[in-house]
Amino acid sequence: MTLAVNDKAKAMQAAGLDVIALAGGDPDFDTPAHIVQTAVDALRAGHTHYPAPMVGIPQALEAVAAKMARENGVSVPDPRHQIILTPGGKWALYLGLCAVLNPGDEVLILEPHWVSYPPMITLAGGTAVPISLPAEDNFRVTAVKLRAKLTPRTKAILINNPCNPTGRVLTREELEAIAAVALEADLYVIADEIYEKLVFDGRTHLSIASFPHMAERTLTVGGLTKSYAMTGWRMGWVVAAPDIIRLATRLNGQTVSCAATFTMHACVAALNGPQDNIAAMCTAYQQRRDFMVKALNEIEGIECRSIEGAFYLFPRFPHSRRSSLELADALLDKAQIASVPGSAFGRSGDGHLRFAISTAQSDLERAVERLAKIARQL
């Protein structure tokens, strides 16, 4: 049904209607020029073959290890055996899940959760066990909530920090609670940190792998996609213990083989080069957030929490009797605004819609004008 709303939005666009696309997750910024230039130079210099080693060219593995030490407080003493570069963060997550799960193993996921987690867990042979976190409590996770869902089959906790769709950035206290449960129940933690650089109001993103005794049981998933506006390049990674990376490498060997070699060169340029583009993008997202949260809350019938990171707003429509799917459909029909129904992110997402603010400010302004006109009809 989510796809049905999406298909309808595309069909309306194709028919020439002026649909404002707030459903996607693709930054409207271009990849910084120095990264593009490095990739072009690599291609011209003949780096058009399989990489050696297949997990990633040594300079790129070193760059990820250096970044983990510098920004995440995680020491990676053996990059060659503790990192695998992947075609995008999504494949990194899937490899990580396949590496740790045996058939029937359970994975705790925090709900609202990213749409792809449950299917990915199923494909990897496991069972997703959602932990419902209410919006009224700002989607806060506690050890009590995690412990309530533990069974002898629980194998891992999958977290997304910062979170798509809620925009939450986990606090030290929440991460300590997750680490405590992982240690006491002997679980892996898969930490999806794809939005790590997109945090607002001077917040610091904390990596759970940097917490005491957590590095050996954490699979940190990251990538260039969101932070460097590089969605089309497909470059992500897993950082984990050598036995996990060995399994991930074997899986890669019989499926995609490796990430594209030129993207590995781009990865070196992105991680080791100037970071001012990221700061500029982050500032722009924060300004859009401030504009949108204020404007949405001024419209009767819409409530929108501010967000701490990533680039999605997750407003509620407290007076509406519609399900989030019906809401998304009505918004498309009445205002030609494409959004994602909250129920796509699990049951606790119902009543919400997700709006991406990785969209031009002018489109956001137009969306707010249209919303103000039709909010009563929702």
Cβ(251)–Cβ(47) below 8 Å: no
Among 9, 25, 181, 270, which residue interacts with ligand PLP (rule: CB under 6 A)? 25
Cβ(265)–Cβ(259) below 8 Å: no
- Residue 114 binds ligand PLP, judged by CB under 6 A: yes
Select the span of 15-23, 55-63, 88-96, 119-127 touching ligand PLP (CB under 6 A).
88-96
**Least distance from ligand PLP to the Cβ atom of residue 223, Å:** 4
The pair of structure tokens assigned to 264 is: 């590995």
**Least distance from ligand PLP to the Cβ atom of residue 213, Å:** 25
Burial (Cβ within 10 Å: 0-12, 13-18, ≥19) of residue 46: exposed
Select the span of 60-68, 85-93, 95-103, 298-306 touching ligand PLP (CB under 6 A).
85-93
Angle at which helix 261-272 crosses helix 33-44, to 10 degrees, equals 140
Select the span of 84-92, 119-127, 175-183, 287-295 touching ligand PLP (CB under 6 A).
84-92
Q: Which is nearer to ligand PLP, 116 or 171 (CB)?
A: 116
Among 225, 324, 343, 358, which residue interacts with ligand PLP (rule: CB under 6 A)? 225
- Give the number of residues in contact with ligand PLP, rule: CB under 6 A: 13
Q: What is the maximal distance between C-alpha atoms in the chain? A: 60
- Residue 90 binds ligand PLP, judged by CB under 6 A: yes
**Least distance from ligand PLP to the Cβ atom of residue 237, Å:** 10
Q: Which is nearer to ligand PLP, 168 or 305 (CB)?
A: 168
Select the span of 87-95, 243-251, 333-341, 351-359 touching ligand PLP (CB under 6 A).
87-95
Select the span of 27-35, 82-90, 281-289, 321-329 touching ligand PLP (CB under 6 A).
82-90
**Least distance from ligand PLP to the Cβ atom of residue 224, Å:** 8
- Count how many Cα atoms sit within 13 Å of the Cα of residue 323 in the half-sphere of its side chain: 9
Q: Which is nearer to ligand PLP, 118 or 223 (CB)?
A: 223
Q: Which is nearer to ligand PLP, 198 or 367 (CB)?
A: 198
Q: CA-CA distances (angstroms) from residue 278 to 115, 274, 275?
A: 26, 9, 6
Q: Which is nearer to ligand PLP, 188 or 311 (CB)?
A: 311
Q: Which is nearer to ligand PLP, 120 or 368 (CB)?
A: 120
- Give the start-end residues of each E strand in 283-359: 312-313, 337-338, 340-341, 353-356
Cβ(316)–Cβ(343) below 8 Å: no
What does 232-243 look like in DSSP terms, one character per residue? Answer: TT--EEEE--HH
Among 194, 198, 248, 260, which residue interacts with ligand PLP (rule: CB under 6 A)? 194
Question: What residue type is 285 in one-letter code?
Answer: Y
Among 174, 192, 196, 329, which residue interacts with ligand PLP (rule: CB under 6 A)? 192
What DSSP designation does 156 have? E
Cβ(193)–Cβ(170) below 8 Å: no
Cβ(135)–Cβ(111) below 8 Å: no
Q: For residue 162, is the peptide bond before it cis, meaning its omega torsion is within 30 degrees of 0?
A: yes
Q: Which is nearer to ligand PLP, 93 or 245 (CB)?
A: 93
Closest CA to 284 of 13, 28, 73: 28
- Residue 160 binds ligand PLP, judged by CB under 6 A: yes
- Residue 263 binds ligand PLP, judged by CB under 6 A: no
Q: Which is nearer to ligand PLP, 25 or 341 (CB)?
A: 25
Q: Which is nearer to ligand PLP, 24 or 273 (CB)?
A: 24
Q: Which is nearer to ligand PLP, 63 or 194 (CB)?
A: 194
What does 15-65 look like in DSSP terms, one character per residue? Answer: TT---EE-S----SSPPPHHHHHHHHHHHHTT--S--SSTT--HHHHHHHH
Cβ(86)–Cβ(236) below 8 Å: yes
Q: For residue 53, is the peptide bond before it cis, meaning its omega torsion is within 30 degrees of 0?
A: yes
- Residue 164 binds ligand PLP, judged by CB under 6 A: yes
Closest CA to 238 of 56, 52, 107, 116: 56
Segment 45 to 64, residues that bind ligand PLP, using CB under 6 A: none
Binding residues (CB under 6 A) for ligand PLP: these are 25, 88-90, 114, 160, 164, 192, 194, 223, 225, 231, 236
